[in-house]
Amino acid sequence: MELRNVIIRPVVSEKSTLLREQNKYVFEVDRRANKTQIRQAVEALFDVEVENINTLNVPGKLVRRGRTEGYTKAWKKAIVKLSPGSTIDIFESL
């Protein structure tokens, strides 16, 4: 898997904004990616040093539209803690 395909997008939510104060950033990542691949991708793409990574699988939720039922897409979330002094600039402009 190529490094640019590991990270799909940053997750911008109230909780992820509060985590930035602790120098933690949240990304949606490929479901097949492991922590080592996520670390390498973040360090290469943003030129920062990663201290710790927590991952979790977010299950799809049941959605109903009238009589039709379905599920939203399941995805994988990575919470990346950077070493002190490192920041990711794309989050500062949000």
Phi, psi of 41 (to 5 degrees): -65, -45
Q: What is the mean pLDDT of residues 4-15?
A: 94
For 62-93, write each residue's pLDDT tens digit.
Answer: 999 999 999 999 999 999 999 998 888 876 65
Residue ranges of domains in the chain, CATH in brackets: 3-84 (3.30.70.330)
What distance lies between CA 24 and its chain's CA centroid? 10
The model's pTM: 0.88
Assigned token pair, 66: 């009238």
Q: Minimal CA–CA distance to 63: which of 54, 72, 73, 55?
A: 72
Q: Which residues contact 13 (CB under 8 A, 6 or more apart)?
A: 26
